[in-house]
């Protein structure tokens, strides 16, 4: 709560409840007495910010007294922050229930350090909070933990105690659990439940979840079973069992409260399970028997990281001495354990590394290649070996690509130098070098940028590699490279794609110092005009006041291409320098001498051609005419620039130009837009005069009408309405007048606009614009009047379609039944009925669904409308729509686009009931390929386990196109769990033309089916896993 919001006359607890309601935008409406109880129980803390920043010293003193009484009454945690800059916590006045940002994390660390005093908090880290934030940024998982404020407090405590954060996940989670449970508890009843018993309760809960292979358990059924586990633990008294269950359910920060028990992050469950196995021989033996169960692998890895060397050797012996399966699960698990146990002896480390290397180099499957590369990249000492493999000519490019991604992802900037060397090596395939460039850009190591720059101009390097290198340099963000980039841009032989990347780099890395260096390139006639125009486009963000005169001189240079001069003028305006307004106005003022020359040249052109040529040779008047054309372009740009700058000094001159019939019409037509952007209301009367003058050019009158709407000049409303009522008025002007009325958003004029929709002498464009305006005005009083217009045949169908759209925009859901009556009237134009149907869908009028179905097959309605109707059924969804939509999806006379829209709707909303239709369409050789692909995509989202056999038949049918088989395999990866599916995939793997997709699916299905695949020679046999874990009797697994 900010100090400035404190009100002495209102109880503090009520103010806290009100503040919580406001800051959560109504998400937490908690009574004051409950909030005070939460403070007492330690379930929340109070941060009061802004002391010393208000002028209400008495109010601040009263607030401090209130806080002291609150702390004494509840024992809650209170943080009071003052005006000291070092402890300002930015962003908390607008606190929201979102994950914390890096700025908030850093600010809280700074505040805690300041509260502890200099040199007393971050004892092991000299750089303090900045080093803490960098430690979080090194690992995405750490940062994800820190975004939770409670877990962040634990990470801060760890960092303060040890001067850093553990690099191994097992140690990090184990220590974090200990720190969080070591906090003093404010609730008196918890004194009977010491921290060791809380840890034991968490370990038993984690073990129960591991036994059942569940990441969450229903609280009601789980507590009874968990109570049995705690009673059998031996450390709990009967009363403590009840206290432990209540603590887990309500006050343990690591477990989410609610109808299901689940850990904040699954890693806490695995770490607790590993800790339990460390101290209990029986459970350790049980965990070691689960090394072939993928659901236990994470706990096994945590165990390896926490175990003493003797225990770890037992685990690794089991992993290395017995037969591995078809997926090399044990060696992959051994590699992950080795990452967590770097202290392991060489005699165990080397065999693991050698087997992982062999797996990477010999396996034909992308899944295993990626896994092996990732594990090796995380094992210390393997970076150089992996980098060397990038140069092996016998290694597939895909494998080398996985190595590149693994090195960048797991080692970060530590691998940047090795990757940069490989980028230059021609032995590395071009595709892999492109991947290296992309990963270097993602790593964003600025010192590397200058070393890579010479590759950009090296013609011996492939264009795409150089382009990716340039993109990487951009992401690295080294602004000192600006001059070198300009020099590269000027190379005449540079490929256009490279130049494009260079321009993007300049846009991101450049600054005002580069303006003077880029001007020679803009002047260079040998450079392509389009490139010079793009260079000008990047200048606007850099220009400084001292460079304005240089650019003005460039704009006035008649030898420069006129399009470049116009672009420069626009760039100056976008930079927002108001000092150029007088100079811009000078462009728009015509001298008498110029007007006289124009008159003379116009008279000369009436003479015989031979005289015109003779006079032109003597006087050069034609050259002046060409200059006048260039000047006209600059004047047009100057008017637009004055509008951009919104400077009122230009208004009188702009008005004179607008009123002067001698000025070129294209200039006058731009003036209303500029006046609208400036927003000077005093010009409205003069604009209205010109709008009503039939002698004014119609284009100018159109622009004036729109400008009045943009200015929201309500004083012009009567004139605009009169234009609509005038049957002799230009229809285009009337259309613009209607749009202007809509822009003004004045609901009071809606009633007057409705009768105009019936006026047959009013052009269709104007009436459609009126209908659109009615939709934006938001006056629901006219809805019933609009409904009465829908069946009138004298009104064109396109106008009635716009009327239906306006009704939908007004959101008048109460008139659904009346629209339904019109929708059923077959005498109404089909396109109008389609628009009515879309309006009903917009209003979510569910009874309209059956009528929309009947319109889908009406070929009189434009296919694009029917496509929208099919997609709109999602907002009216009901399971009864599945059967009729399925019939329409199979209807061959419907356009493919309409059928595809139906299929997409079935896939998104139909669920498993729609799957058979989608499966048949995907397999149908007679259906268009676009429809089959759409059905295959929808099949993935609607699949359920009951269709596993059908998916297998589609995935392994060689007559079906590869794309559809791939989508069937994707669906199998989601739901497949049968041993028969494993058998079918194994049988098809060797001969499949999609071995990687089949193998990846096989991995997931075998895991779900609890089947191990063993290789014996060339044959593969499967062994159903038998979980030796004994579950409590009388507690059926189905209860969970």
pLDDT over 70 at 624, yes or no: no
Domain that holds residue 12: 1-97
pLDDT over 90 at 260, yes or no: no
Q: Are 566 and 551 in contact (CB under 8 A)?
A: no
In a domain? residue 18: yes
In whole angstroms, what is the distance from residue 701 CA to residue 373 CA? 69
When pLDDT is averaged across residues 408-418 and rounded to a whole number, the result is 92
DSSP code at position 715: G
pLDDT band at 600 (very low <50, low <70, confident <90, very high): low
**Given strand 216-218, what is the order of strands in its sheet?**
216-218, 260-263, 255-256
**Which of 94-98, 105-109, 202-206, 566-570 has the least mean pLDDT?**
94-98
Q: Are 204 and 229 in contact (CB under 8 A)?
A: yes
Pairing of strands 46-48, 78-80: parallel
Per DSSP, the three-state class of 615 is helix
The 10s digit of each residue's pLDDT in 360-383 is 999 999 999 999 999 999 998 899
Segment of 10-24, 583-597, 867-881 carrying the highest mean pLDDT: 867-881
In a domain? residue 14: yes
pLDDT over 80 at 453, yes or no: yes
Segment of 148-162, 221-235, 660-674, 902-916 carrying the highest mean pLDDT: 902-916
In a domain? residue 33: yes
pLDDT at 1014: 86
pLDDT at 873: 92
In a domain? residue 66: yes
Provide the CA 420 distance to its chain's centre, in angstroms. 30
Segment of 118-127, 628-637, 876-885 carrying the highest mean pLDDT: 876-885
- Give Cβ neighbours of residue 761 (< 8 Å, ≥ 6 apart): 727
pLDDT band at 50 (very low <50, low <70, confident <90, very high): low
The 10s digit of each residue's pLDDT in 749-764 is 999 999 999 988 888 9
pLDDT band at 153 (very low <50, low <70, confident <90, very high): confident
pLDDT at 586: 86
Closest CA to 370 of 880, 883, 999: 999
pLDDT at 601: 58
Which token pair is 596?
């006289």
The CA–CA distances, whole Å, from 213 to 185, 269, 294, 300, 315 equal: 32, 11, 10, 14, 21
Closest CA to 749 of 710, 720, 769: 720
Higher pLDDT, 1015 or 55: 1015
In a domain? residue 470: no
When pLDDT is averaged across residues 822-848 and rounded to a whole number, the result is 90
**Which of 507-521, 574-588, 972-986, 1008-1022 has the least mean pLDDT?**
1008-1022
Which conformational region is residue 25 in: left (phi greater than 0), alpha (psi within -120 to 50 degrees), or beta? Answer: left
Which token pair is 610?
């031979």
pLDDT above 70 covers what percent of the chain? 86
Taking all residues of the chain, what is their mean pLDDT, rounded to a whole number?
A: 85
CB atoms within 10 A of CB 585: 17
Residue 25 has phi, psi (to 5 degrees) of: 55, 40
Cα-based angle 949, 954, 960 (whole degrees, multiple of 5): 170
**Which of 102-106, 305-309, 381-385, 974-978 has the least mean pLDDT?**
102-106
pLDDT band at 420 (very low <50, low <70, confident <90, very high): very high
Q: Are 771 and 782 in contact (CB under 8 A)?
A: no
The CA–CA distances, whole Å, from 524 to 52, 468, 549, 550 equal: 60, 27, 19, 16
In a domain? residue 266: no
In a domain? residue 55: yes
Paired strand residues for 376: none
The 10s digit of each residue's pLDDT in 925-940 is 999 999 999 999 999 9
Q: Are 181 and 227 in contact (CB under 8 A)?
A: no
The CA–CA distances, whole Å, from 439 to 397, 443, 462, 727, 878 equal: 16, 6, 18, 67, 47
In whole angstroms, what is the distance from residue 287 CA to residue 285 CA? 5
The 10s digit of each residue's pLDDT in 970-996 is 999 999 999 999 999 999 998 999 999
pLDDT at 271: 96
When pLDDT is averaged across residues 662-672 and rounded to a whole number, the result is 89
**Structural domain count of the chain:** 1
Higher pLDDT, 345 or 246: 246
In whole angstroms, what is the distance from residue 658 CA to residue 700 CA? 9
- Give Cβ neighbours of residue 889 (< 8 Å, ≥ 6 apart): 899, 902, 903, 906, 917, 921, 935
DSSP code at position 690: H
In whole angstroms, what is the distance from residue 99 CA to residue 420 CA? 36
Q: Are 816 and 840 in contact (CB under 8 A)?
A: yes
- Give Cβ neighbours of residue 511 (< 8 Å, ≥ 6 apart): 479, 482, 542
In whole angstroms, what is the distance from residue 190 CA to residue 247 CA? 8
pLDDT at 897: 93
Residue 660 has phi, psi (to 5 degrees) of: -80, 110
pLDDT over 60 at 1023, yes or no: yes
Q: Are 101 and 91 in contact (CB under 8 A)?
A: yes
pLDDT at 286: 92
Provide the CA 381 distance to its chain's centre, in angstroms. 37
In a domain? residue 37: yes
The CA–CA distances, whole Å, from 900 to 106, 833, 856, 885, 921 equal: 50, 22, 12, 11, 11
Read out DSSP for 577-607?
-GGGHHHHHHHHPPPHHHHHHHHHHHHHTTS
């Amino acid at each position: 709560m900010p100090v400035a919001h404190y009100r002495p006359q209102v109880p503090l607890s009520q103010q806290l409840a009100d503040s919580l309601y406001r800051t959560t935008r109504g998400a937490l409406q908690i009574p004051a007495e409950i909030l005070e109880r939460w403070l007492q129980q330690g379930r929340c803390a109070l941060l009061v910010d802004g002391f010393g920043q208000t002028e209400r010293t008495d109010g601040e003193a009263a607030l401090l007294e209130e806080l002291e009484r609150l702390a004494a009454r509840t024992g809650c945690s209170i943080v009071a922050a003052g005006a000291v800059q070092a402890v300002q916590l930015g962003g908390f006045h607008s606190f929201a229930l979102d994950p914390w940002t890096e700025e908030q994390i850093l600010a809280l660390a700074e505040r805690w350090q300041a509260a502890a005093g200099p040199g007393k908090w971050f004892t092991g880290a000299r750089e303090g909070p900045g080093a803490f934030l960098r430690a979080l940024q090194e690992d995405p998982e750490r940062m994800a933990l820190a975004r939770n404020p409670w877990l962040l407090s634990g990470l801060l405590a760890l960092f303060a105690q040890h001067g850093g954060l553990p690099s191994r996940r097992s140690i990090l989670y184990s220590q974090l659990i200990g720190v969080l449970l070591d906090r003093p508890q404010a609730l008196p009843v918890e004194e009977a439940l010491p921290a060791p018993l809380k840890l034991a309760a968490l370990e038993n809960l984690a073990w129960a979840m591991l036994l059942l292979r569940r990441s969450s358990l229903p609280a009601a059924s789980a507590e009874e079973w968990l109570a049995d586990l705690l009673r059998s633990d031996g450390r709990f008294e009967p009363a403590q069992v009840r206290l432990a269950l209540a603590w887990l359910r309500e006050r343990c920060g690591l477990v989410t409260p609610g109808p299901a028990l689940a850990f904040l992050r699954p890693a806490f469950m695995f770490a607790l399970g590993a800790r339990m196995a460390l101290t209990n021989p029986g459970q350790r033996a049980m965990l070691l028997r689960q090394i072939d169960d993928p659901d236990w692998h994470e706990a096994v890895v945590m165990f390896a990281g926490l175990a003493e060397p003797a225990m770890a050797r037992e685990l690794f012996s089991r992993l290395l001495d017995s037969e591995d399966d078809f997926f090399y699960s044990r060696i992959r698990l051994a590699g992950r354990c080795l990452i967590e146990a770097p202290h392991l002896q060489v005699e165990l480390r080397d065999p693991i590394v050698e087997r992982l290397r062999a797996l990477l180099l010999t396996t034909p499957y992308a899944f295993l290649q990626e896994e092996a590369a990732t594990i090796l990249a995380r094992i210390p000492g393997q970076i150089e070996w992996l980098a060397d493999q990038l140069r092996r000519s016998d290694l597939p490019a895909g494998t080398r690509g996985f190595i590149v991604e693994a090195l960048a992802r797991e080692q970060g900037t530590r691998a940047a130098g090795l990757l940069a060397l490989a980028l230059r090596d021609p032995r590395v395939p071009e595709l892999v070098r492109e991947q290296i460039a992309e990963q270097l850009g993602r790593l964003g190591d600025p010192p590397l940028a200058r070393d890579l720059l010479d590759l950009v101009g090296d013609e011996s390097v492939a264009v795409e590699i150089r382009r990716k290198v340039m993109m990487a340099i951009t992401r690295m963000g080294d602004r000192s490279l600006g001059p070198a980039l300009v020099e590269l841009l000027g190379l005449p032989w540079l490929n256009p794609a490279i130049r494009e990347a260079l321009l993007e780099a300049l846009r991101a890395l450049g600054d005002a110092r580069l303006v003077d260096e880029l001007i020679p390139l803009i002047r260079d006639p040998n450079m392509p005009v389009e490139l010079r125009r793009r260079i000008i486009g990047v200048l606007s963000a850099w220009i400084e006041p001292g460079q304005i005169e240089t650019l003005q001189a460039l704009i006035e240079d008649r030898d420069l291409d006129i399009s470049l001069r116009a672009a420069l003028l626009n760039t100056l305006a976008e930079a927002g320098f108001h000092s150029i307004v007088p100079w811009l106005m000078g462009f728009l003022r015509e001298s008498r001498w110029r007007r006289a020359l124009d008159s003379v040249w116009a008279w000369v052109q009436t003479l015989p051609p031979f005289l015109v040529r003779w006079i032109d040779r003597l006087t050069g008047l034609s050259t002046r005419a060409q200059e006048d054309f260039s000047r006209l372009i600059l004047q047009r740009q100057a008017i637009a620039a004055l509008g951009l700058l919104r400077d009122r000094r230009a208004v009188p001159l702009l008005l004179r130009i607008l009123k002067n019939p001698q000025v070129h019409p294209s200039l006058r037509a731009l003036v209303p837009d500029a006046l609208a952007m400036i927003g000077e209301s005093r010009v409205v009367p003069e604009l209205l005069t010109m709008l009503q003058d039939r002698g004014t050019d119609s284009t100018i009158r159109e622009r004036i009408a729109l400008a009045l709407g943009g200015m929201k000049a309500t004083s012009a409303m009567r004139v605009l309405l009169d234009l609509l009522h005038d049957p002799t008025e230009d229809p285009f002007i009337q259309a613009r007048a209607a749009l202007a009325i809509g822009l003004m958003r004045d609901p009071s004029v809606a009633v007057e606009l409705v009768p105009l929709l019936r006026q047959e002498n009013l052009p269709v464009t104007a009436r459609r614009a009126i209908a659109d305006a009615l939709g934006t005005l938001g006056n629901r009083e006219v809805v019933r009047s609009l409904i009465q217009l829908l069946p009138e045949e004298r009104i064109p169908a396109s106008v009635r379609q716009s009327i239906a759209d306006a009704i939908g925009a007004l959101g008048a859901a109460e008139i659904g039944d009346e629209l339904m009556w019109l929708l059923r009237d077959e005498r109404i134009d089909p396109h109008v009925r389609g628009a009515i149907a879309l309006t009903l869908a917009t209003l979510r009028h569910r009874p309209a669904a059956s009528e929309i179905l009947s319109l889908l097959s009406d070929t009189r309605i434009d296919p694009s409308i029917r496509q929208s109707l099919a997609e709109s059924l999602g907002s009216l969804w009901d399971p009864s729509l599945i059967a009729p939509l399925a019939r329409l999806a199979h209807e061959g006379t419907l356009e493919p686009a309409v059928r595809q829209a139906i299929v997409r709707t079935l896939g998104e909303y139909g669920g498993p009931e729609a799957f058979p239709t989608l499966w048949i369409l995907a397999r149908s050789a007679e259906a268009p390929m676009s429809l089959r692909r759409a059905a295959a995509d929808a099949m993935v989202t609607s699949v359920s386990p009951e269709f596993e056999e059908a998916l297998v038949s589609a995935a392994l049918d060689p007559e079906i196109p590869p794309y559809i088989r791939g989508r069937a395999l994707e669906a199998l990866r989601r739901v497949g769990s049968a041993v028969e599916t494993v058998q079918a995939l194994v049988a098809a793997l060797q001969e499949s033309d999609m071995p990687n997709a089949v193998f990846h699916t096989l991995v997931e299905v075998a895991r779900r089916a609890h089947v191990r695949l063993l290789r014996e020679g060339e044959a593969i046999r499967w062994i159903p896993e038998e979980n030796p874990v004994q579950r409590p009797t009388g507690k059926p697994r189905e209860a969970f």
